[in-house]
Structure 1
Amino acid sequence: MTSRMAELVARHEDKPEGNITLELTSLYLQGARQPGFEDWFHEAEQLLDTLSEQHSDVLQYQLLRADIQQQQHQFQAALKTLDAVFENDPQHIYASLMAARIYLATAQHDAAQQACARLWQQDLFLMSVCSFEVAGRRGNWSTSYPALRDLFQRQASIPPAIDIWVRGILAEQAEQLGQLTDAQQWLSPVLAKAPTSLWLKWADLSLKLEDAVQVYNKLALKQQDLRIADSLLVRLVRAEQQMAILPDNAKSQRFSAELAQRVALRIARGDTDHAADLAYYFLHIELDAAAAVHWATLNYQSAKEPDDLALLIQSQRVLSQRNQLAEPQLTEAEK
């Protein structure tokens, strides 16, 4: 917790006021995107819920509410909240980018492009980046990637948060073109300050590049210091398993037991949030192809980004292969 957050917490406890609550909620949300601080999303939501009805028309309240809703995959609710923002400010930059992100997450590409277009009089660079991301999602990776790369490299100075955002898009597009090393290299310089979503992308790329040692070392340190979310822990365990089969690199399964406990708990309580974690677990850690398909399908019902589709297709492919192996093989006489 930063000194500013500590100050605001003390002031909020002493005398809750709307502006203090809103600023503190915003800081919790910013921090919650970092690995190990995911619980801060709940802190932010609880803080926002303490505000009275009169704050529901405040712009900052609406933006924070929509941000929390999209994090919880309540996409339609988030878009409805953003509509209230656009009624007062039709070209609001942050709201437009958030709307585009939600439409991309649900594979509504035309709507996403319309959200990007709101920015053409506000910020041409952001509108261009947003539009190139949409173009990639439409399948135009081979044209959108070099165009976005050239645009990015021409910028003399970019705020850190925007730099991280653009690099995440470039990494996705390079990956879709099979340029895995380039994709990884887009993320490596900003990984320390990157959100969990880009840590996941970096880990997946690194595992594909057979760099399990680096994934293990970085995520193990995060787990020891902060207790990372299931999405990162499942990749840490996968790296751990890959390292165990490397010559002269055998390691005990330090993190597998904790992951298994977390998965069992989520299933027991019927937790369907971020079902991709469970699909990944049953696909890569404890193989159960039917369970992987179940959770990947559930995940794809709400989130339809390239990684979500790839997870579903891979799960279905493995299930199909295992079903074929389970079928009795006929002899020539029986045929």
Structure 2
Amino acid sequence: MLRTPCLLAGLLSATVHAAPYEPYVPATGEQVLLRVAPDDSEAASRVRALREAARAAPGDVDAAVRFAHAAIERARATADPRWYGQAESVLVHWEDAPSTPVAIRVLRATIAQHRHRFEQALAELDAVIAEQPGHPQARVTRAVIHSVQARYQQALRDCAALLRVGELLTTTCMATPRSLSGEAEAALAQLDRALARAPGDAGTRLWALTVAAEIADRLNRDDADARYQRALAAEGAGRNLYLKLAYADFLLHNDRPDEVAELLPPYGDTTEAQIRILRARAQQGEPVDPGPLRARLDTIRTRGSEPHYREEAMTALHLEQRPAEALWLARENWRQQREPLDALLLLQAALSADDPSAAAPVRRWMRDNGVQDHRLQALREQLADTEEASL
């Protein structure tokens, strides 16, 4: 899911169903499923100092906000979800408070968004915007959630409320919902003009460049690769997992798996990166063992966390060759989030499972919104041919 630039310069709650497969069980107790490197960097030490200050002053809003903000930024920089948990721990003080400060609500919404607890995030953001209609971070985050759930007009209304903040932020916010509502070329052109004349801060520019690359990718433009490279250059020494994953998917689709191996190793301890790395190895003809990855996903499910349906479906489809299970998971994922990647996954699973009718929700979404995406269009045509041949 696209991250908002936080906090303004970085950017479902669902019933847990039993998956239609047996959980992975390691052959021995000595099998390593996950290695977590300690974060001993200077940046991590600064965040820990803020944590100690917040813990020493429970109820101090400023101290809690400083730490939670820094922890979320560290989580995004390192792709280590434990920082989100630490950020959440200092916000517990306001859980049952009669009134909650706006800054605390925004941080809680940001964490809920990351965990796909979209309804919880929206409830927090609605409360913030009711109190402060022009709150930039609340508007951006709510717009992103609306886009993820294919409520494009609502997303655009939130984006329009950002006009006073800056042209690049507003245009970038609008670009995704516009591009998925039949205006991809126009959205990209407007984004290019804004990038050329509105400097924006570094985080907003990186978001804008990433969105521009994604739109160009969906339009199958010749400059899509160059746009991804431009975004990567703007990232500099920073770490942006979302951008890396988007480019990795572009490379995999264009049969360039060797470049994925060079791109993602710094993020190899994340589930999302592991899936792409294993897919790249498989494309190169190497044997892959998805067992440890499956064990991690099963652990997430059994400990009561939100199921990672997208990652589970990708693993079942691309690494385990279990099309029926992949289709079930892709359907569950589509109920949570409806980004182009989720649509692609459901179409691929429907084709692999030889069940064209399962693609109906995505076909309807494409038709109703005028979605332009060459990958989705090609799969939709393949499924139509399969359906016609079966009649």
2:261 is the alignment partner of 1:184: no
> Is residue 291 from structure 1 mapped to residue 335 from structure 2 by the alignment?
no
Q: Distance in 2 between matches of 1:305 and 1:167?
A: 18
Aligned position for 1:61: 104
1:10 pairs with 2:52: yes
Give the aligned residue type for 2:264: L
Match in the other structure for 2:365: none
Contact between 2:115 and 2:306, CA under 8 Å: does it hold in 1? no
Give, in angstroms, the shift of residue 35 of structure 1: 4.3
The sequence identity of aligned pairs, in percent, is 24
Match of 1:327 in 2: none
> 1:161-187 deviations in whole A, cap 9, x for unaligned?
111111121121011101342443243
* Aligned counterpart for 1:149 among listed residues 192, 199, 204: 192
Structure holding more helix per residue:
1
| Contact 1:184 1:206 (8 Å CA) reproduced | no
Q: Distance in 2 between matches of 1:123 and 1:307?
A: 29
Counterpart CA distance in 1 for 2:322 and 2:292 is 19
- Residue 85 of structure 1 corresponds to 128
Q: Distance in 1 between matches of 2:120 and 2:302?
A: 27
Shift of 1:270: 7.0
Q: How many angstroms apart in 2 are the aligned matches of 1:129 and 1:220?
A: 29
Match in the other structure for 1:235: 276
Structure 1 pair 267–168 and aligned structure 2 pair: CA distance change class (3 A) = same
Q: Does 1:158 align with 2:200?
A: yes
Aligned-pair CA distance for 1:56: 4.5
Paired amino acid for 1:239: A
Q: CA deviation at 1:217?
A: 2.7
Residues 150, 317 of structure 1: CA spacing in aligned structure 2 closer, same or farther, 3 A cutoff? same
In the alignment, is residue 217 of structure 1 matched against residue 262 of structure 2?
yes
**1:221 positional shift:** 4.0
Distance 1:303 1:74 in 2: 11
Q: Please, which of 219, 241, 252 is the counterpart of residue 196 of structure 1?
A: 241
1:173 to 199, 202, 215: 215
Alignment partner, residue 148 of structure 2: 105
Residue 328 of structure 1 corresponds to none
SS at match of 1:178: coil
Alignment of 1:256-271 (within 5 A): 256-266=290-300
Q: CA RMSD in A?
A: 2.5
**Higher normalized contact order (CA 8 Å, seq sep 6+, divided by chain length):** 2
Q: Quote the Cα distance in structure 1 between the aligned partners of 2:262 and 2:356.
A: 33
CA distance in 2, matches of 1:122, 1:181: 30
Q: Bigger radius of gyration, 1 or 2?
A: 1
Kindly provide the amino acid, as one letter, of the partner of residue 329 in structure 2: W
Q: 8 Å contact 2:72–2:87 — kept in the other structure?
A: yes
Residue 222 and residue 306 in structure 1: after superposition, are their counterparts in 2 closer, same or farther (change >3 A)? closer
Q: Cα distance 1:125–1:158, how it changes in 2: closer, same or farther (>3 A)? A: closer
Q: 4+ residue runs of structure 1 moved beyond 3 angstroms?
A: 12-18, 50-56, 263-272
Shift of 1:130: 2.0
Equivalent residue in structure 1 for 2:309, among 275, 282, 285: 275
The aligned amino acid for 2:117 is Q
Q: Give me the whole-angstrom Cα distance separating, in 2, the residues matched to 1:74 and 1:205.
A: 28
What is the alpha-carbon distance in structure 2 between the residues aligned to residue 79 and residue 52 of structure 1? 16
1:6-45 aligned within 5 A:
6-16=48-58, 17-45=60-88
CA 270–41 in structure 1, closer or farther in 2 if over 3 Å, else same:
closer
1 CA distance for matches of 2:182 and 2:234?
26
User: How many residues matched?
Assistant: 311
Secondary structure, counterpart of 1:129 in structure 2? helix
Unmatched segments (≥5 aa) in structure 1: 246-250, 324-335
Alpha-carbon deviation of 1:267?
A: 5.8
* TM-score when normalising by structure 1: 0.84
- Which of 194-203 and 181-190 deviates more? 181-190
